[in-house]
Amino acid sequence: MANVIYVLNGPNLNLLGLREPAIYGTDTLDDIAGMLEDRARDLDLEIDMRQSNHEGHLVDWLHEAQARGAKAVLVNAGGFTHTSVALHDAIKAITTPVIEVHLSNPHARDSFRQTSLVGQAAKGTIAGFGALSYVLALEAAARF
């Protein structure tokens, strides 16, 4: 599984394309998955893309990525980014590199979004480029 990149998406990301398009854009999660699949093919990588509105699923999937020998994990934890000690700890508990991804730039938004517990544990963060943020994170992950 060394060429697999897990792409984990948190709460409300299933509503991309409908939810606040002025902030998050009009691309759906399926559109983003297609972009990632296309680019992954060029990089000789596979994508395992998942979404859940439940924190525990994201924690379990981080553990699974480690157990299965994934090359890296891209994670857009949505609102859990700013609140989840559990995700922070799960990222710290694994050796698989984790890249935090955001469609918008949290630092240009509400003050409560400017602290990232996920980002404090991740190897790096790519944010503010819309759907391209995921592709840029994939490019970075390919280098691990």
Q: Which residues are catalytic?
A: 24, 102
Rounded to 10°, the helix 55-67/85-93 angle is 0
CB neighbours of 78 closer than 8 A, spacing ≥ 6?
9, 10, 11, 12, 13
Answer for the pair 121, 83: CB distance below 8 angstroms, yes or no: no
Query: DSSP of 73-92, one letter per residue?
Result: EEEE-GGGGGT-HHHHHHHH
- Amino acid identity, position 26: T
Q: How many CA atoms lie within 13 A of 58 on its CB side?
A: 31
Separation between Cα atoms, residue 29 and residue 131, nearest integer Å = 9
